[in-house]
Every structure is written in structure tokens, then in C-alpha cells.
Amino acid sequence: MPQRHLARTLALQALAEWDFNKSMLGNDLEVMEIIERNMRKAAPPNFEGNDFAKELVKGVMKNLPAIDDYVKKYAPQWPLKQITLVDRNIIRLGIFELILLKQTPPKVVINEAIEMAKTFSGRTSGKFVNGVLGAIYEDIKMENDNGTISS
């Protein structure tokens, strides 16, 4: 499994565990402790994606309210709590990479998100994730040269 794909997967697992514990159990676990534990348990010894995985988790958490506003804007018929936990966090990661991180080409970000949805979520999750992130990407293309999206 390529390094960045595994990093995204580890970040997704950490965010989903944090989200589950917070929303379902009322526990607010430290998400960085979760990602560290996941990397120790699941990443190979020579894994070079640790920093990227941490950057994804930190970035999503730091910008969570703004990211969730994008989810609400681009999936208005789906209240945040009604989106499956896995899909919600895949979309959060995708939004962070598309709008804030901007290190990876948008089509790669979207394809990675779709693949994670197909692997870790339901039958139609890939289409849902593609619809939300695809709409954001289309708006990015239509915006001015700096690539920002107005709210």
C-alpha cells in the first residue's frame, strides 16, 4: 500500500475513533494519542507517512468547525449527524486536503476519498463522497486564481 494512502487510512481511523467516542460515548479522547497508537500498531517499521498522517489529523481537528460548514453547505440534505461516521470523516479529510492543505492534486484527493469510502463504508458511499467533494472541486475551479471558496 502506498505511503500516502496508508497515512490517509490511519488518519481516517483516528478521526473515526475520536468521532465515535465523542458522539456515541460522550468521551473526548485526545485524537493525537489515537493516531500515535494506530501508527505504532498498524504502520510498518519503515513507514514514511507518519508526519503526513499527523498533519491530516491535526489539520482536520484545527479546522473542524469550518470543515463541517463545508459539509453542511455541500450536503445540505444530510445533517452532519445523519452522515455515517466513516463517510463524515472521509469527507472531512478530503475537504481539508482540497481547501486548506493543497499539496495533492484535487483529482487525486477525490479518488483517494472514493477508494476509502468503497473500502471502509457502504455500497453507495463512494458516490456520496464523490458528489460532495466533486461539487467542492467544481467551485474551486470556478473561483478566482487563488483557489479559495467563498462561503
Burial of 28 (0-12, 13-18, 19+ CB in 10 A): exposed
CB proximity list for 31: less than 8 A, separation 6 or greater? 14, 15, 18, 57, 61
Domains of the chain, first to last: 3-142 (1.10.940.10)
Question: pLDDT class for 24, splitting at 50, 70, 90?
Answer: low
- 148 has a pLDDT exceeding 80: no
How far from 101 is each of 2, 28, 39, 60, 120, CA to CA, in Å? 19, 25, 21, 10, 23
How many Cα atoms occupy the beta-carbon half-sphere of 118 within 13 Å?
Answer: 9
In terms of residues, how long is the chain?
151
Question: pLDDT class for 147, splitting at 50, 70, 90?
Answer: very low
Ranked by mean pLDDT, the top range of 3-12, 20-29, 140-149 is 3-12
pLDDT reported for residue 27: 65
Question: pLDDT class for 28, splitting at 50, 70, 90?
Answer: low
pLDDT digits (tens, 9 = 90+) for 87-123: 999 999 999 999 999 999 999 999 999 999 999 999 8
Q: State phi, psi for 67 to the nearest 5 degrees.
A: -65, -45
Considering the chain, what percentage of its residues have pLDDT values greater than 90? 77
